[in-house]
Amino acid sequence: MTYASDIESLQVLERPETRRRNAEATRAAILKAGKAHFARSGYEGAFLRDIAADAGADAALINRYFGGKEGLFNACLREAVRSEKLFEIERGDFGARLAAVFASKSAPSSDESLQGFHLILRAATSVATSHMLNEVVQERFMGPIRQWLGGEDAGVRARLFTALFVGLLVEGLIRDEPLSDPERTAFARRLASIVQSLVDQ
pLDDT greater than 60 at residue 13? no
Model pLDDT, residue 32: 95
Task: Report the percent of the chain where pLDDT is more than 70.
Answer: 88
pTM: 0.79
Do the beta carbons of residue 131 and residue 137 sit within 8 Å? Answer: no
C-alpha distances in Å from residue 153, one per residue of 142, 181, 201: 13, 36, 8
Alpha helices in 46-85 (DSSP H): 48-55, 60-66, 69-80
Instruction: Please give the Cα distance from 166 to 117 (Å, whole number).
Output: 9
Q: Kindly state whether residue 78 falls inside one of the protein's structural domains.
A: no
Mean pLDDT of 185-201: 95
Average pLDDT in the chain: 88
Q: Of 44, 73, 102, which residue constitutes the final position of a domain? A: 73
Do the beta carbons of residue 161 and residue 86 sit within 8 Å? Answer: no
**Is 148 found in the same domain as 97?**
yes
Amino acid identity at 77: L
Q: Which of 97-106, 108-117, 136-145 has the lowest mean pLDDT?
A: 108-117
Burial of 149 per CB tally in 10 Å (0-12, 13-18, 19+): buried
Count of CB atoms within 10 A of residue 112's CB? Answer: 13
Residue that wins the pLDDT comparison between 59 and 6: 59
Instruction: Please give the Cα distance from 141 to 77 (Å, whole number).
Output: 12
Model pLDDT, residue 20: 75
Give me the domain span that covers residue 152. 84-199
For residue 129, the surrounding DSSP H or E stretch is: none
Do the beta carbons of residue 149 and residue 87 sit within 8 Å? Answer: no
Model pLDDT, residue 175: 80
Residue that wins the pLDDT comparison between 21 and 141: 141
Q: Of 38, 73, 108, which residue constitutes the final position of a domain? A: 73
**Is 100 found in the same domain as 52?**
no
Q: Which of 25-29, 109-113, 161-165 has the lowest mean pLDDT?
A: 109-113
Instruction: Please give the Cα distance from 201 to 199 (Å, whole number).
Output: 6
Model pLDDT, residue 14: 56
Residue 25's CATH number: 1.10.10.60
Instruction: Please give the Cα distance from 137 to 78 (Å, whole number).
Output: 8
**Is 140 found in the same domain as 162?**
yes
Task: Report the percent of the chain where pLDDT is more than 90.
Answer: 69
Q: Of 40, 73, 106, which residue constitutes the final position of a domain? A: 73
**Is 122 found in the same domain as 174?**
yes
Model pLDDT, residue 10: 45
Alpha helices in the chain (DSSP H): 3-13, 16-45, 48-55, 60-66, 69-80, 94-103, 112-124, 130-137, 143-149, 154-174, 183-199
